[in-house]
Amino acid sequence: MPIAKMPRYKEFHHLIRDRLPEEKVSHCIFVAEYAASLSDAAGVDHDDAVTAGMLHDLCRTVPGDDLLKQARHYGLNPSEAALEAPLLLHGPVAAEECRRDLDINSTSVYEAIYWHTTGRPDLDRLGQLLFLADFSEPTRRFPEAAQARALVRNKGFDAALLFVAEKKLVFQKSKAVLDPNLQAFLWWLQKS
């Protein structure tokens, strides 16, 4: 089903166009498209996949200090990693905003947006789908994105998800701050 048929598509599209630069709007739409195309295979609701994809980076351009302030205002307890790298909070703050201001009441959508950067053990199928689609939507230029899409086609969703978590951990290890949730998510996927 085309993602524009999702009942709140126009509203969310206006919102992200107001808040994000063009290339990030495009990324969000491609994440929504790619996640929607895999929603049946992942066993998740199509409209939830579109919603999570469109809104996951709603706070991606909010400066780190403001993210920290917002997170505290919402009663979130920033982790040590987030205190060092507040941009890690763009998912949690967006999840809160979706619930409080946009009246999105699905816990699954909340969790998917909250954890889209790192994942976490026990993350549900929608969260797993968003994590995968964010990394590997078709306009991502790094070669691992194309490899992940090929894995989805040839070996299925779970094999591709494991690959994405492994590659994200490699990417994150090259950065100054490593969020322990990503390592925990990968171990959990390897065990399940």
How many of the chain's residues bind Fe ion (CB under 5 A)?
Answer: 2
**Least CB distance to Fe ion at residue 85 (A):** 13
Contact pattern for Fe ion over residues 9 through 48, marking x by CB under 5 A: ----------------------------------------
Return the residues of window 117-156 that contact Fe ion according to CB under 5 A: 134
Q: Which is nearer to Fe ion, 146 or 190 (CB)?
A: 146
**Least CB distance to Fe ion at residue 74 (A):** 17
Return the residues of window 44-63 that contact Fe ion according to CB under 5 A: 57
CA atoms 39, 91, 190, 160: torsion sign = positive
**Least CB distance to Fe ion at residue 71 (A):** 15
Q: Which is nearer to Fe ion, 56 or 125 (CB)?
A: 56
- Residue with tokens 């201001």, as numbered in its chain: 101
Q: For the chain, what is the HEC assignment?
A: CCHHHCCCHHHHHHHHHHHCCHHHHHHHHHHHHHHHHCHHHHCCCHHHHHHHHHHCCCCCCCCHHHHHHHHHHCCCCCCHHHHHCHHHHHHHHHHHHHHHHCCCCCHHHHHHHHCCCCCCCCCCHHHHHHHHHHHHCCCCCCHHHHHHHHHHHHHCHHHHHHHHHHHHHHHHHCCCCCCHHHHHHHHHHHHC
**Least CB distance to Fe ion at residue 168 (A):** 12
Q: Which is nearer to Fe ion, 92 or 155 (CB)?
A: 92
Q: Which is nearer to Fe ion, 48 or 57 (CB)?
A: 57
**Least CB distance to Fe ion at residue 24 (A):** 8
Binding interface with Fe ion (CB under 5 A): 57, 134
